[in-house]
């Protein structure tokens, strides 16, 4: 049996912690806290200068951890993601050049969409998994359901991010077109700065348990 791809692993887990980490020295403790809570995965966003170093640290010290890159907005970030060991990458929007560059270097990539036009362009470029961002203010699950309707027969799937919480996870994950949800609430910058790794583990565990319960009830 072939090993699952990173994007397939994301779907199996159902939750992607979205993390802006400011100090590479926190990388291992963060990964261990998340994994202990049942979430051996993180989207390390390029919103901070430490992102590339965090990815490199995890590649070296926690190679089994599913570390990906987020907020990939330019070609330099695409290259830095791949070179520093990111196993997947996501972007908040759709830029054909960035998407093509990720594909060209073998970096599993999910572009961001918010409108039918965005999704049309992403589908035409060959993508079937996209980030839906900013999920909350873009209209929530009902908006995504309407956007997806003309594309459903193509098997498109989504990772809604932005405004998703433990309380609203169920509104998203009950839909078959939602592969996973992205969440910043699991490990916030202040949690890392203040060393609240036990809290991160607890929030990760709650998210995993909630995702499992939602999917079991929907099946």
CA distances from 17 to 67, 152, 198 (A): 10, 26, 15
| Active site (annotated) includes residue 22 | no
Selecting from 3.40.1160.10, 3.40.640.10, 3.20.20.70, 3.30.930.10, what CATH number does the domain 6-211 have? 3.20.20.70
Catalytic position from the list 82, 87, 131, 203: 131
> Which region, left, alpha or beta, applies to residue 162 given φ > 0 means left and ψ of -120 to 50 means alpha?
left
Residue 3's pLDDT is 67
44-57: per-residue pLDDT in tens? 999 999 999 999 99
Model confidence, pTM: 0.95
Catalytic position from the list 36, 43, 82, 167: 43
Cis peptide before 147 (omega within 30 of 0): no
Residue 122's pLDDT is 98
- Pseudo-torsion of CA 57, 47, 160, 188, nearest 10°? 70
Q: How far is residue 87's CA from residue 69's CA, in Å, rounded to a whole number?
A: 8
Whether residue 169 is predicted with pLDDT greater than 60 in this model: the reply is: yes
Residue 218's pLDDT is 80
| Active site (annotated) includes residue 131 | yes
Q: Where are the domains of the chain?
A: 6-211
Find out whether 44 and 77 touch, Cβ atoms under 8 Å.
no
């Amino acid at each position: 049996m072939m090993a699952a791809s990173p994007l397939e692993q994301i779907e199996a887990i159902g939750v992607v912690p979205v993390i802006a980490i400011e100090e590479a020295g926190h990388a291992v403790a963060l990964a261990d806290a998340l994994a202990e809570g049942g979430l051996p995965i993180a989207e390390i966003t390029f919103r901070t200068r430490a992102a590339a170093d965090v990815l490199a640290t995890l590649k070296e010290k926690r190679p089994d951890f599913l570390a990906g890159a987020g907020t990939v907005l330019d070609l330099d970030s695409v290259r830095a993601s791949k070179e520093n060991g990111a196993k997947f990458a996501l972007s908040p929007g759709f830029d054909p050049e960035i998407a093509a560059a990720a594909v060209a270097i073998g970096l599993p990539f999910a572009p961001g969409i918010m409108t039918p036009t965005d999704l049309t362009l992403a589908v035409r470029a060959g993508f079937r998994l996209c980030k839906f961002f900013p999920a909350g203010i873009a209209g929530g699950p009902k908006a995504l359901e309407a956007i997806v309707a003309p594309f459903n027969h193509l098997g498109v799937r989504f990772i809604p991010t932005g405004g998703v919480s433990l309380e609203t996870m169920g509104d998203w994950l009950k839909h078959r077109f939602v592969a996973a949800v992205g969440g910043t609430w699991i490990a916030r910058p202040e949690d890392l700065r203040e060393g609240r790794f036990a809290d991160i583990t607890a929030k990760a565990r709650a998210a995993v348990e909630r995702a499992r319960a939602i999917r079991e009830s929907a099946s």
